[in-house]
């Protein structure tokens, strides 16, 4: 990686854990949420003052949709305020050191309305649940920075598939978590500033998960939506042509 030291938030989570295991990021500090509680502005500022790093990979979040629905205050505090605290600390550090921190923010395909699919980065963001709104609020603060990349994505942990049935008629651009880790490394190194969709080809939930858990059963979107007290995405697939272009360029440069 082009950056010296990297600060990773959310290192104990699914994505953060895979980032740490990948070995792609050599010089990485990953404080636990007890060591760096992102909702505590003063603690975040102090951490930025006392630790030296050139890049932040921000994975910490309240990432469970059901929890965000039940506890909107917590969703806003961790996802929106927590991200904003990191952004403010990064701006202050930049003013002191004159160096621009590279800030990689992990967002979600859930900022799109997720009904028609094929969403481009320039399409309107119109989340369909509280998780999506809190993540969109986080994105708004990251846009204030000079050197940032917001990655809108959805990933699956291929060794930890939760449910026994998935819908054949709901769609995403989901990718395995290890592929996302490689994408984060590429985007951290790239000069790209802005928002990018990172994912694969449009795939039904059933087809995506069946590849890794052959015992899963097919079902219909309405079966799952009918049993769920909050709105789910019907077609959250994304246009990933910008990502494919950057990925190809990165491959060519190696």
Ligand X SMILES: NC(=O)c1ccc[n+]([C@@H]2O[C@H](COP(=O)([O-])OP(=O)(O)OC[C@H]3O[C@@H](n4cnc5c(N)ncnc54)[C@H](OP(=O)(O)O)[C@@H]3O)[C@@H](O)[C@H]2O)c1
Over the window 56 to 75, marking each residue x when it contacts ligand X by CB under 6 A and - when it does not, the resulting string is: ---xxx-x------------
Report how far residue 182's alpha carbon sits from residue 166's, in angstroms, rounded to the nearest whole number: 26
Which of 82, 127, 132, 200 is in the footprint of ligand X by CB under 6 A?
82
Figure out which of the listed residues 20, 29, 39, 213 binds ligand X, where binding follows CB under 6 A.
Answer: 39
Tell which positions 91-150 bind ligand X, by CB under 6 A.
106, 108, 135
Q: At what angle do helices 177-189 and 14-22 cross, to 10 degrees?
A: 70
Q: Which of 32, 97, 120, 249 binds ligand X (CB under 6 A)?
A: 32
CA angle 142, 76, 44 (to 5 degrees): 60
3-state secondary structure of 149: strand
Beta-strand pair 203-204/171-172: antiparallel
**Among 5, 14, 88, 207, which residue interacts with ligand X (rule: CB under 6 A)?**
14
Size of the site for ligand X (CB under 6 A): 26
Looking at 1, 5, 20, 33, which residue binds ligand X (CB under 6 A)?
A: 33
Q: Is residue 134 a contact partner of residue 106, using CB atoms and an 8 Å limit? A: no
Interatomic CA distance for residues 93 and 51, integer angstroms: 10
Cβ 195 to ligand X shortest distance, Å: 13
By beta carbon distance, the residue nearest ligand X is 13
Binding ligand X (rule: CB under 6 A), the pick from 47, 155, 166, 206 is 155
- The alpha-helical segments, DSSP class H, found in 113-153 are 130-142
Using an 8 Å Cβ cutoff, are 130 and 68 in contact? Answer: yes
3-class DSSP state of 132:
helix
Binder to ligand X among 3, 8, 16, 128 (CB under 6 A)? 16
CB-nearer residue toward ligand X: 34 or 191: 34
User: What minimum distance in Å lies between the beta carbon of 193 and ligand X?
Assistant: 19
Instruction: Give 121's DSSP letter.
Output: T
Q: Report, in Å, the least distance between residue 182 CB and ligand X.
A: 15
Q: Verify binding: residue 83, ligand X, rule CB under 6 A.
A: no
Task: Using CB under 6 A, list all residues that contact ligand X.
Answer: 9-16, 32-33, 36-39, 59-61, 63, 78, 82, 106, 108, 135, 153-155
């Amino acid at each position: 990686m082009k950056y010296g030291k990297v600060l990773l938030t959310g290192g104990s989570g699914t994505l953060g854990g895979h980032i740490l295991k990948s070995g792609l990021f050599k010089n990485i500090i990953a404080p636990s949420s007890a060591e760096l509680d992102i909702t505590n502005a003063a603690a975040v500022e102090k951490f930025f003052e006392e630790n030296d790093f050139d890049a932040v990979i921000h994975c910490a979040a309240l990432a469970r949709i059901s929890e965000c629905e039940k506890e909107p205050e917590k969703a806003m505090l961790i996802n929106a305020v927590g991200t904003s605290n990191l952004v403010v600390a990064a701006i202050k550090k930049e003013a002191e050191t004159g160096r621009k921190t590279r800030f990689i923010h992990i967002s979600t395909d859930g900022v799109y309305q997720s009904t028609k699919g094929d969403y481009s980065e320039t399409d309107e963001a119109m989340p369909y649940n509280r998780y999506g709104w809190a993540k969109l609020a986080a994105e708004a603060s990251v846009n204030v920075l000079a050197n940032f990349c917001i990655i809108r994505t959805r990933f699956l942990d291929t060794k930890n598939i939760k449910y026994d049935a998935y819908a054949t008629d709901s769609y995403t651009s989901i990718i395995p978590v290890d592929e996302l880790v490689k994408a984060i490394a590429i985007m951290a190194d790239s000069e790209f500033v802005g928002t990018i969709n990172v994912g694969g080809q449009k795939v039904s939930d059933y087809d995506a998960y069946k590849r890794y858990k052959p015992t899963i059963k097919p079902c219909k979107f309405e079966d799952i939506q009918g049993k769920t007290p909050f709105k789910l995405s019907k077609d959250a697939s994304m246009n990933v042509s910008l990502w494919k272009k950057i990925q190809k360029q990165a491959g060519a440069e190696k």
